[in-house]
Structure 1
Amino acid sequence: MKPTHDSKGPSQRQLRAGELLRHALAEIFRLEDIEDDELKGQLITVAEVRVSPDLKHATVFASALGGKPGDVIAKALNRHARFLRGELARRIELKYVPELVFRADHALDAAERIDELLRSPDVARDLK
């Protein structure tokens, strides 16, 4: 009998698969040279990988450190999703290598906005 999940969050299996994919993609971005003008010279980071319950689809949140906007990077990576999926198949052991969809990671942008707000004179005055 399968256990039922009352919580709405990802299962332990989804989390493990997501971390496995995240580490493998980081290694691919570090070692492989992807032929794309938008990606040339960019240091790409993978913040999170969310995997569907059946592990057949994965959403990858990626950005370039100190480089081009996340949306440009995500669009370029989506053009190479098939190549990246093939590279993942060589590096990981999963029954299925999920279809990849890349999205811009906006977490750093949000953190910078919050930091900027906290340094503003009005907020600094209220914090004293």
Structure 2
Amino acid sequence: MDARTMAKPHYKRSVRVADLIRVEVADILARKVKDPRVEFVTVTDIELSADLRMARIYVTSLKDQQVEPQVHAGLKRASRYIRAELGRRVALRYTPELIFCWDHSRQRVNRLERLFDQLEHRTPCDRPDRSLENRD
């Protein structure tokens, strides 16, 4: 087998481009954007359209939940700059339009963990008696 064939990963191009965009946007946010509203913002995921012209960027903040509107406003204001900087860093025919979305998955995980903790700490009296249901 040819060495070039063996070294080449078999991922879709859109997945590789999305991963590259995630890394670059995270770096731009950390090093280039000076808006204090977007401090401590983490890029959690990227959804890239099939034609690579639109990127939905999911973000979260290490600060509390109440900063979401301020973070969104800061990202909206900086989005043109971020897109231009991304275009300089990534060699694509078209630099994708960037749409920033808040990633609520961490909040859902925290809610589920609290529910599991509540179930775990229930006393036997709190649990329904399933043995009575099976009697005929």
Question: Which range, TM-score by smaller chain?
Answer: 0.7 to 0.9
Cα-Cα RMSD: 2.1
Could you tell me which runs of 5 or more consecutive residues in structure 1 were left unpaired when the two chains were aligned: 1-10
List runs of 5+ in structure 2 lacking aligned partners.
Answer: 1-10, 125-136
* CA distance in 1 between partners of 2:55 and 2:33 (Å): 22
Query: How much identity, in percent, do the aligned residues show?
Result: 28
Note the alpha carbon deviations across 1:18-62, whole angstroms, 9 max, x for none. 111000011112211333x523xx211001111111111110001
- How far 1:71 sits from its partner (Å)? 4.5
Q: Say which one has the larger Rg.
A: 2
Match of 1:124 among 113, 116, 120: 120
Bigger share in helix: 2
TM-score by length of 2: 0.73
Count of aligned pairs between the two proteins: 112
Amino acid at match of 1:84: I
Residue of structure 1 in register with 2:105 after alignment: 107
Amino acid at match of 1:66: K
